[in-house]
Each structure stands twice: as C-alpha cells, then as structure tokens.
Amino acid sequence: MTTLRQALTEAAARIANVSPSPRLDAELLAAHALGCSREAMLLARLDDPVPAAFDVLVERRLTHEPVAYITGTRAFWTIELAVGPGVLVPRADSETLIEAAVAHFGGSAPVRILDLGTGPGTLLLAALAEWPGASGLGIDASETALDYARRNVAALGLSDRAVLRTGDWTVGIDERFDLILANPPYIGTTEILPHEVAGHEPAAALFAGTDGLDDYRRIVPDLPRLLAPGGIAAIEIGHEQDDAVMALVCSAGLPARLVRDLGGRPRCVIAG
C-alpha cells in the first residue's frame, strides 16, 4: 500500500515543475483531501492510505491553478479566508501592512478602519481580528470579491463590526479613519506574470496602467481628507514603486516612510 508520506514525496516532485513551493503545495492539497488541517495531517496521518481525491487535486495544480482556488481557502495573518476564482489570492507579503499598523499603534488601537480594494476581506478582517474594539468599512468594485468578503465576515463572526460596500476607491466616502489599508492593482500592463497569476487571478485586481501607478494616483490625493488625526494609511506597493508612491504621498502633503517585507523588498508605504 502506498502511504500518504510516499505520495507527498512523489506529488512534490511533479509539482516542482509549476511551483516554487512544491512540498507545501502537496501538503495543503493532501490535507484538503483528508478534510483536516495540514498540521493535524503532519502530526498523525502521514502513514494513512492516500485519499482518493488527492491525485485529482494534484492534476489541477499541474495546470497552474492556484492552491487557494483548489482548496477554497487561504490563511492570512491570524484568520482563514474563503477564496476562489474572481478574487485576488491573499499573499503573505501583504501581512507587512498589518505588521506596520501594529507597530504604529503600539499599545493603542485604531477605532475606525477603511480597506480600499478589500477583495475577499483580506486586510480589513485581519485588522478587525487584531483589534477587537475596532470597526471597519471595506470597499471593492467587484461583486464577486464582495460575495467572498461577506462569506468571510459571517464565518469569522464579524458582522457587527464590518460593513462592505460596492465602490470606486474613495468616491463617496466622507468619513475619517484611524487606519486606511490599501492593496491596489500595481502591475504594469506590459509586465509578464507567471501563468498561475495571469491565467487565473482577475486582471482588474492586478493591472493598473502602463506603469502600474494609475490607482495610486486616484487614491493618494484623497488620503488627507480621509485620515483622522494621528491616523495612517498603509499602502502596498510593487518592489520598484517605492520612490514613485512616496512622491505621490508627499505631494498630497503627508509624510511618507517605507516598510520592507520579510524578504527585504520595498512592500508598504506608510502615509501620515
């Protein structure tokens, strides 16, 4: 009998052709097939028979379909999010924004939070989980993304603290917020992306004009009127966009500083 331990090794070798993290991918797919957490699988189930669905899941991964779309979930910060086709897959690099906000507020906490381009609720719900006394507003132009965000709000028990709204960035918002989070599209339209991204994730959440800066040019000028006294905006950027986005923030009359991700790359501009 082939054990799950053996099947994982074989699957990881096959997935290596399409993924930089083949072993992790194989483990996540196997845990999904078993209906348990990856941790529980690794602790107690590696000598189990191979679940019947595992091979099918591996075949899907070999077509470059994102693991998060296959399993329907993605861990982010301290929460688990439902995701699927039509939404941007949450990435660990985006946790840099939450880390920067935690460092800024220290022992205090934001009361009102705005998430521009909330997608499946990624940054907003992570922030609300971090600060139990806060409430927030998530804005997105995509009804598909907002459907996932509503599911995540309900699953996390945050319906009394999170409001989701269809919107066009800052248009029609006339409130002030202690913390503004934004992960706008920042890929230039001529840039080449991996097939896993370009072939599956929504273009509207990825591309922003020839230089990738179109949405920053819309969001940043409105930050001064949306930030409460002592508040900050944490804005995700591409790793070569720090100077351009910081210049936009300074032009809007706000101080700007750069935060790097765990890989040492420019990842977040703090405004305010």
Residues lower than pLDDT 70 in the chain: none
Residue span(s) of the chain under CATH 1.10.8 come to 4-63
Q: What is the pLDDT of residue 167?
A: 98
| Fold classification of 86-271 (topology level) | Rossmann fold (3.40.50)
177 contacts 231 by C-beta, under 8 angstroms:
yes
Residue 246 tokens, joined: 């910081």
Q: What pTM, to 2 d.p., does this model score?
A: 0.94
Q: Which residues of the chain does CATH 3.40.50.150 include?
A: 86-271
Distances in whole angstroms, Cα of residue 34 to Cα of each of 3, 7, 52, 64: 13, 13, 9, 22
Look at residue 266 in the predicted model and tell me its pLDDT.
Answer: 97
**Third-level CATH fold of 4-63:** Helicase, Ruva Protein; domain 3 (1.10.8)
Predicted local distance difference test score (pLDDT) of residue 192: 84
Q: How far is CA 179 from the centre of its chain?
A: 17
Question: Quick one: pLDDT at residue 203?
Answer: 87
And the tokens for 59? 């075949």
Identify the pLDDT of residue 134. 98
Tokens of 182: 């934004």
